[in-house]
Amino acid sequence: MPLRLALLLLVASLVTGCVSSGHESPLQTSKGRDEARAAYVQLGLGYLRQGMSEQAKVPLKKALELDDSDADANAALAMVFQAQAEPELADNYFNKALASRPADPRLLNNYGSFLFEQKRYDQASRYFQQAAADALYPERSRVFENLGVTSLLLGQRVSARQQLEKALHLNQRQPRALLEMAELSFEDRHYVPARDYYERFSLLSGQNARSLLLGVRLATVHEERDKAARFGQQLERLYPGTPEYQQYLSEQ
């Protein structure tokens, strides 16, 4: 049974209660309301994952009618408004969620990601740092990756390297962290580790304009002319209008 249908049936059963047997409605109990609210939130998130952000608002509104301070419902609505490019509303609901659970690393990381998207890098860094402080958070490697990328944009290269290295110590299979480390190592003229990071990145991810340009540069440094030409051809074919392709042309 599809998850969304299962959640709809669960919500329906909680709302209708056990009228035929004479039992009180589950929504009259604290446990029943908690279960209904959680089901509404999951239903809303299910819609959001499918790109149906308008439909997602309906169950999330019902969740907030049961408890307007519920962190999960507020956080889900924040992501809905983030997806709909309404940053002021997203910011408002993220803050409502964090008011209920200020130390939740998932909420802190998600809010940091939202702030990063809004180019509010100083603020994003502070929330990523708070999220990273929870040593038991299972997605901590992603937080350090986010923190490293943010530090790069703030011009903090030493901190960025430390944070990206920490991310890869926690989880070696992070393409973004590997590409950033390859770029940093190349800029520092550490060409052997740069190639190692780049090859690990290539095993985990498809290429983009930035990675292809770095591939050309690394192959050129290591005198791998055929590889450099191949990367250049891919850059020309796939990303002809990009700044990376213009930079590639200027370097030839």
pLDDT tens readout for residues 39-71: 899 999 999 999 999 999 999 999 999 999 999
Residue 19 has pLDDT above 50, yes or no: no
Per the structure block, which two tokens stand in for 5? 């249908």
Task: Average the pLDDT over 213-230 and give the result.
Answer: 96
Residue 3 has pLDDT above 90, yes or no: no
pLDDT at residue 20 in the model: 42
Q: How far apart are the C-alpha atoms of 213 and 221, rounded to whole Å?
A: 13
- 172-251: in CATH 1.25.40.10: yes
Residue 14 has pLDDT above 60, yes or no: no
Residues of the chain with pLDDT > 70, as a percent, come to 89
pLDDT band of 32, cuts 50, 70, 90: confident
Domain layout of the chain by residue ranges: 32-100, 103-155+162-168, 172-251
pLDDT at residue 63 in the model: 93
Task: Average the pLDDT over 142-170 and give the result.
Answer: 98
32-100 and 172-251: identical CATH topology: yes
pLDDT at residue 4 in the model: 53
- 103-155+162-168: in CATH 2.60.40: no
Contacts of 207 (CB under 8 A, 6+ apart): 215, 234, 238
Q: How far apart are the C-alpha atoms of 128 and 107, rounded to whole Å?
A: 10
pLDDT tens readout for residues 183-209: 999 999 999 999 999 999 999 999 999
Fold category of 32-100 in CATH: 1.25.40
Q: Residue type for 174, please?
A: Q
Residue 1 has pLDDT above 60, yes or no: no
pLDDT at residue 30 in the model: 77
pLDDT at residue 11 in the model: 52
Q: Residue type for 83, please?
A: A
pLDDT at residue 31 in the model: 78
* 23 to 20, 34, 35, 189: CA distances (angstroms): 8, 18, 17, 73
* Residue 89 CA from chain centroid, whole number: 19
